[in-house]
A and B are shown apart, each in its own frame.
Chain A
Amino acid sequence: MKFMLLCYDDEQAWQKAGQAALASAMQEAVSLCHEIAAKGQYLTASPLHPVATATSVRVRDGKRLLTDGPFAETREQLGGFYLIDVPTLDDAIAIAARHPGAPLGTVEIRPVLELAGLPERP
């Protein structure tokens, strides 16, 4: 089954933790990815730039509306994601629990609806 792991973190908590802590968490995440890749469970993963760089797009009555910022202001912000292919939800939970941001934030696990006919990943 394919799962999307959405990693929500308090950006300010990371800022307080410092650049070195952030860099080492990123390295830890990279190792985690290699580990799941070795088992054939890795599809893709990436951190995102801070929510300050988000742009929201809506189209109403055929007109494009742009706003600076994310869809919703939340205490914790979406900071990255993993896309994995594992047999069960429990495997997904086990991986989520190993995400270096889990102690500071929340990892939301969402099963992906497998839509037939999408193009191959490049």
Chain B
Amino acid sequence: MTAAAAADSRATVDAVYRTESRRVLATLIRLLGDFDLAEEAMHEAFASAVEQWPREGVPANPRAWLVSAGRFRAIDTLRRRARFDASLADLASRIDADSQAAVDSDGVEDDRLRLIFTCCHPALAPEAQVALTLREVCGLTTEEIARAFLTTPSTLAQRIVRAKAKIKSAGIPYEVPSRAELPERLDSVLRVIYLVFNEGYAASSGTSVTRKELSGEAIRLGRLIAELLAEPEVLGLLGLMLLQESRRVARTSPAGELILLENQDRTLWNREQIAEGLALVQRAFASRRLGAFTLQAAIASVHAEAESAAQTDWWRIVGFYDVLAELEPSPVVALNRAVAVAMRDGPHAGLALIDAILADGDLAEYHLAHAARADLCRRMGSTAEARASYQRALALARQEPERQFLQRRLAELP
């Protein structure tokens, strides 16, 4: 074989690693019943590929080849270790006896879905669900995840080790939940995905590159689930993420300053993402089973369709917030609704609502509530009140771009 051909098949292995490694891992976890053993087996399978493919040619079905190579490697490993721990010999024989049908099963995509449900199991701590999903399903390294969540790799690694130990010894199943359990379990999965998305979308410190990748991963996960399990809320969440992502370029100035929705240059919005998001929202609505993600996506779609803030259909937005507040009452939803009412009926109407929400106390320490109040006072020309509220918001805000934005607004007051 020529050097060029060898380099060629090496490139093939790399390409297969990128597209197939997570699928191979998901199937090996099902066959071996153990995350660590599966991960080890997957790496050994790819190592064998690097060695054998240049010599013997790339197999017709690389994924099946890798799964089967990984499985044999795992059986070898278990037999080797069985010299010290007799129970492993039984396990090796059991895996060895698995029918070829189980190995070849074309339900490979089901394996990925199983993996997501296992990683997002509600018996795991929420931060562990996020870390495990990014590590096992998305294949991010511990260092990458740690950087994105502003924590140390060792803390993160420990979190993952602990979660895997719980999966194994507490018997967290590796399966797609039954119909009866699906709503609760899907909820947990969608929450994890949206959390990952928001980590990547919220303008905060941390290297912006990693952050953007997180949103990309969340959208990829959303697409995967939408493909395998087209529940309305899955479509709603994917639509919501795409509609928010479509504004990414427009929401910060080249200097990194935050630009509010009403001031964004709408020609910068990504039309392709908007079209896809709108279609998803429509499909979710067609089911007539409206969930919180679908409603938020519907609100985002009204913005996406408007030529400017002034031309936005605020009646429809307030209407969606009404349904959302009914479905999932929360002070934050009430606050967003108040802002929409201010846009529809004028700042006085919104201010009365915001003051009532602040008086309830839940959002007294929430900087965006004070920032929203300040904005309405500014529009009404109540400069002193606006200043007091901007200052209160500034005292509570922690993210740098938001602080800069509030400082700018304060400076602009007459």
Contact = CB atoms under 8 A, between A and B. Distances in A.
Determine direct contact between A and B, CB below 8 Å: yes
Interface of A: 49-50, 52-55, 64, 66, 68-69
Given A52-B165, A52-B166, A53-B166, A64 B125 contact: no
Nearest to B121: A66
Given A66-B122, A68-B123, A68-B125, A55 B184 contact: no
A55 B170 CA distance: 9
Given A52-B162, A55-B123, A68 B169 contact: no
Interface in B168-213: 169-170, 184
22 contacts: A49-B170, A50-B165, A50-B169, A52-B162, A52-B165, A52-B166, A53-B165, A53-B166, A53-B169, A53-B170, A54-B170, A55-B123, A55-B170, A64-B184, A66-B122, A66-B123, A68-B123, A68-B124, A68-B125, A68-B128, A68-B166, A69-B125
Interface in B127-155: 128
Contacts of A49: 169-170
Contacts of B184: 64
A43 B114 CA distance: 39
Looking at A49, A53, A68, A69, which has the most chain B CB atoms within 10 Å of its CB? A68
Interface residues of B, number: 11
Interface of B: 122-125, 128, 162, 165-166, 169-170, 184
The 6 closest A-B pairs by CB, nearest first: A68-B125, A55-B123, A53-B170, A49-B169, A66-B122, A53-B166
Contacts of A53: 165-166, 169-170
Nearest to B169: A49
Contacts of B162: 52
A99 B171 CA distance: 28
Given A52-B166, A53-B165, A55-B123, 8 more contacts: A49-B170, A50-B165, A52-B165, A53-B169, A55-B170, A68-B125, A68-B128, A68-B166
Nearest to A55: B123
